[in-house]
Chain A
């Protein structure tokens, strides 16, 4: 077996989750439900007997989607729509779109009309995270979603079933957190590219199977000498877009000591507490997540919380990836940058989207950033 062999399955799944989903469907007879990122609780879908698949649009060249949504839409939403219009999502028996921003709000309407036969639910996420009413509302919304899912799948997502799903997902998250630790110690073997494939593929593979695959990884590798010279980096962004970014960062000698990606540490950092009211436990986890830009916190906390997280990570520099056409990220970004500058933290802010095919230009900027940082890292 080559050294690449146990890693390959994660990249393959990320690239093509559909074949696996079809096999799963055949074996279990269960439905496959796609969901847009972030914050649709996978455990709810899983407990209702379905396979949740997180959908992202990075790296998709839009053609047909332009007829349904204007070009000034982020690549995340546009790419997922394109996938659906070109038949890539035919395996799906349903779809959940969360209220993340105006774009997902509109996408939900467009989706319902473009695919009238597909079951599609809108998850009404409250935005005022610090208000106690948001917790109460979210619990009721999760309850509504649970019922809607069960009606659709014809299975009962009982409290026991939910608890079992929590256990499975917690176990998976714990393993993925361990992978983050391995990455920090041994980024040559546990590269950013591999780490990303590992974490992101967990969101689109049957979770128990994914856990089994993870068992085969070389968990006990020793850090090689070169690892000590890596530059510790903190990354803020939604998804790796363009998808080549992790590999670029590997090549430039970075190690990710913290990130806020919805296909990254944000998805594995927090577990669901067991043994209590399951919906309350889900709400509680939701509230502990690294706040995504689409939510509202007290405005100072948006900046201060971010600066705290960066400081705690021990990063030498910060990479901010603002998705093009994303209002949520775009309004936060200047104040975050200013906060970093005041503290003397080097940063690189990139407006990213694969639609422009700008990987070459990104590389040049990242190289300059790496060079600058390598002079500051002892």
Chain B
């Protein structure tokens, strides 16, 4: 298969990013540990480098180091049932095992519970460990997307207060011009990322979700910088060229599939090859789309963030089902692969119901893969392959009839 050349740029981008993080202090910058649904544009504007402990855990998983560090976390007293990102992070701190030389110590821990409740508790542990201040952006979501003006006020207030917290740490006032510039760059990167994801609508798809998982690093960690914009401009151009030339990501594309939930990072390469060999392309995933929706406007960024965190982050079940229906139409899906991710309860517990409803409404079947995003001890990749093969055979039989 013809590889996507632009993806090669990521190695340098990631090395530069981690080098910048490790040398932050020498360069007058600060480190904030964050998660999704935190205002990274504000951080960049105020000389903070946002660092995602989750991303560090991904690297550990992808480099097959997770078993070892999770084992160390167990030795610290953490149950293996807890989120395996957190276990990897804590175990890596304990053992010092890390392909990125670990993470630099944080000046601030900034977390939003819009994503999940686990991160709050995980960051509390880190805050105690490093003696670093922690700010929780508390987002009391309605559970069903109802408008809640009291919650909007509460979330907005917390976001606005963040400015003075950051100013206190850096000793510098917020530069409005830089803030606007970061917001602008973030919007541009998000637009480009959306276009990148939309290329998956073409048959055959020029890029799979496996590639998206790799390519999403800058939109996650460097939203609000020129690095992200430049990378997605290059990537989009290449993908558009592939579309024009009819280049398929998987050769003979027989099946177009949806991927639900986080990737199984330790098996990314293996499953990617396996699916490619079957002519199955993962063409869309809510997980990669989520990062396209986080940009805000210059007029009222705090209001926009409050809205996002309350109403568009983590779609509640009914909206999620509707979104999957739309994906099925736009991406001409043949099937859904649902990753029932054992140590991420937030994104997995409603899968049985989502699957039932989506199949009922679209007529498109789905299969549930029992695995984990970062702990290979909790699944067997051979079993997953057998299950996927059986599912594809079933889809293939449907195709013939």
Docked-complex contact B116 and A102, CB < 8 angstroms: yes
Contact partners of A122 in chain B: CB under 8 A: 142-144
* A337→B77 CA distance, assembly (Å): 9
Contact of A327 among B77, B140, B143, B345 (CB under 8 A): B345
**Would you call B120 an interface residue if the criterion is a C-beta within 8 Å of the partner chain's C-beta atoms?**
yes
Contact B154 A134 (CB under 8 A): yes
**Chain B residues with CB below 8 A from A338, complex form:** 77
Q: Could you tell me which residues of chain A, from 333 to 378, have a CB within 8 Å of some CB in chain B?
A: 333-335, 337-338, 349, 351
Residues of A within 8 A of B348 (CB): 70, 72
B362 in contact (CB, < 8 A): no
Q: Which residues in A have their C-beta under 8 angstroms from that of B350?
A: 69, 106, 109-110
**Cβ 8 A contact of A299, one of B118, B134, B138, B140:** B134
Q: A122-B142, A303-B128, A327-B117 are in contact. Are A137 and B150 (CB under 8 A)?
A: yes
B140 and A68 contact, CB distance less than 8 A: no
Q: Is B351 an interface residue (CB 8 A)?
A: yes
The main secondary structure of chain A at its interface with chain B is helix
Please pick, from A99, A296, A351, the residue contacting B141 in the complex, using a CB distance under 8 A. Answer: A99
* Interfacial residues of chain A within 112-154, with CB under 8 A of chain B in the complex: 112-114, 122, 124-128, 131, 133-134, 136-137, 140-141, 144
CA distance A140 to B340 in the complex (A): 36
Q: In the complex the two chains form, is B158's CB within 8 Å of A131's CB?
A: yes
Residues of A within 8 A of B144 (CB): 108-109, 112, 122
In whole Å, how far is A23's beta carbon from the nearest beta carbon of chain B?
33
Q: Does the CB pair A331–B128 fall under 8 Å?
A: no
A110 to B345, CA, bound (A): 13
Q: Which of A302-355 contact B (CB under 8 A)?
A: 302-303, 322, 324-325, 327-328, 330-335, 337-338, 349, 351
Alpha-carbon distance between A363 and B118 when the two chains are bound, in angstroms? 31
Identify B82's interface contact among A108, A113, A331, A337, CB under 8 A: A331
B392 to chain A, nearest CB (A): 23
Q: Do the beta carbons of A128 and B158 come within 8 Å of each other?
A: yes
Closest chain B residue, CB of each to CB of A336: B77
In the complex, A227 has a CB within 8 A of chain B: no
Q: Mark B78-106, 1 if CB is under 8 A from A, else 0.
A: 11011100100000000000000000000
Interface residues contributed by chain A, number (CB under 8 Å): 56
Q: A349 to B348: give the CA distance in the assembly, Å.
A: 28
Residues of B within 8 A of A327 (CB): 82-83, 117-118, 121, 345
**A332 to B117 alpha-carbon distance, docked (Å):** 13
Determine the residue in chain A with the shortest Cβ distance to B345.
Answer: A102
Given A327-B82, A331-B124, is A67 in contact with B352 using a C-beta cutoff of 8 Å?
Answer: yes
A102 touching B117, Cβ below 8 Å: yes
Q: Are A137 and B113 in contact (CB under 8 A)?
A: no
Task: Tell me the nearest residue of chain A to B77, going by C-beta.
Answer: A334
* A324-B346 in contact (CB<8A): no
Q: Which residues of B contact A325 (CB under 8 A)?
A: 81, 345
The residues of B that contact A333 with a CB separation of less than 8 Å are 77, 79
Contact with A along B339-370 (1 / 0, CB 8 A): 01011011011111100010000000000000
Task: Give CA–CA (A133, B76) in the complex, Å.
Answer: 35
Query: Are the C-beta atoms of A331 and B154 separated by less than 8 Å?
Result: no
- Judged by a CB distance under 8 angstroms, whether B157 is at the interface is yes
Q: Chain A residues in contact with chain B, CB under 8 A?
A: 67-70, 72-73, 99, 101-103, 105-110, 112-114, 122, 124-128, 131, 133-134, 136-137, 140-141, 144, 293-294, 296, 298-300, 302-303, 322, 324-325, 327-328, 330-335, 337-338, 349, 351
Known: A110-B349, A131-B138. 13 other contacts (CB 8 A): A70-B340, A72-B345, A72-B348, A103-B349, A106-B349, A127-B120, A127-B136, A133-B157, A134-B154, A141-B140, A325-B81, A330-B81, A349-B77
Give me 21 A-to-B residue pairs in the complex whose CB atoms sit less than 8 angstroms apart, sorted by A's number: A70-B349, A70-B351, A72-B343, A99-B141, A102-B116, A107-B349, A109-B143, A109-B350, A113-B357, A126-B154, A128-B138, A133-B157, A136-B153, A299-B128, A303-B128, A327-B117, A327-B345, A328-B117, A331-B124, A332-B121, A337-B77
